[in-house]
Amino acid sequence: DFQDKNYIGYNGETPVAARAADRRDPKRAAPAAELIFAWAQRGSASFIALQAQDHKFKDTSEGQSHGGGMGRMRSLLQRFFQGGSSVQSLEEQSAEDIIRAIFSSRLWPSTRPPVSSDVGFSLEFATLWQLFFRICGFKLMPIVHPHLASILYGSSEKENLTAASEVLMGMIRGSRWWEFAEIQQMWAYVGEVLPGLLERLTSELLPEWMAALRFATHHRDPRRFQPLTTLLVNKVGQLDDSPAAGTSSSQVRRLLLLKALLLETGWRTRPVATWLVDRIAPAVGHPYKQVRHVIGETMTLCATILS
């Protein structure tokens, strides 16, 4: 379901066109921008570290006590601001003032992509980063980049890479309100870091990044993320048992990542579905069962899109 009733001006029996326009107005979030940018300059690395820690311990009794959804986000923000250095550097601004400013400016989508409860990727954290990039704009990207790069290039721990996926996909969604030149720079950065990272994904991390891709593309015009689609299409590569095609696991991974995108875009990416059917149909007799299974699932999805 790609329809968001709040965006099309309907909420039960009450028209909400005015509220929808207000939700899309970047000026609405202006009061929080200065506060968020100030603490991002001083503590974004610590915030991402806390975010990863939350993933690491979310299955323990400590992690469960944080609650889900909004409660989990508020808990993370409170723990970050109570750490000391960020709060002190903001002088008169208290942690609760900043939390209140952040949440008063939020623009949560009323329809969200389905994510299994066993997947560690957090819609709430990713949406929070979307909000940060939305109201601070492009100037937040150079601040977050060094901390994000240290994870994307130097870490193989699941919790770190899951936190990185939330930041990166939040940036992609939050860039919707940036200037065209800024969006181009953002996609250049994504095109630089993402291909190598996707090749390093393990079977344990694959569901996290599939969920991340669905979050980034959910309820979006495919033209807004054309570079991401092109990147995933180019990654499909060969589907056979030759050395050039890579391992069966890598072939499965590449197909599943593109399938995640197609699940969200549906009929709006019919040309991609048509291309993919032509690409994978000759490989239905693939010697490895796991590849044949994913090919069958993907062809079924493409048939649904094209029907």
Confirm if 120 and 158 have CB atoms less than 8 A apart. yes
Contact yes or no for 175/135 (Cβ under 8 A)? no
pLDDT value at position 216?
93
What whole-number distance in Å separates Cα of residue 82 and Cα of residue 128? 18
With contact defined as beta carbons under 8 Å apart, do 169 and 212 qualify?
Answer: yes
> Distance between CA 121 and CA 209 in Å, rounded?
8
How far from the centroid of its chain's Cα atoms is residue 231's Cα? 16
pLDDT reported for residue 67 = 40
- Rounded-to-integer distance, Cα 257 and Cα 198, Å: 9
DSSP 8-state secondary structure symbol assigned to residue 121: -
Which amino acid belongs to residue 148? L
| pLDDT (0 to 100) of residue 24 | 45
Task: Write phi, then psi, for 14 (nearest 5 degrees).
Answer: -105, 120
pLDDT in tens, the chain (307 residues): 333 333 333 333 333 333 344 444 545 545 556 666 666 666 666 667 767 777 766 544 444 434 445 566 666 666 665 554 443 444 444 555 555 555 554 444 444 555 554 557 888 788 888 888 887 889 888 888 888 888 888 777 888 888 889 999 999 999 988 999 999 999 999 999 898 888 888 888 899 999 999 999 998 899 999 999 999 999 888 888 788 788 889 999 999 999 999 999 999 999 999 999 999 999 999 999 999 999 999 999 999 999 8
Q: What is the pTM of this model?
A: 0.74
Quote the CA–CA distance of 23 and 29 in Å, as a whole number.
Answer: 9
Q: What pLDDT, on a 0 to 100 scale, did the predictor assign at position 89?
A: 44
Q: How many angstroms separate the Cα of 246 from the Cα of each of 5, 135, 182, 238, 252?
A: 44, 42, 35, 8, 10
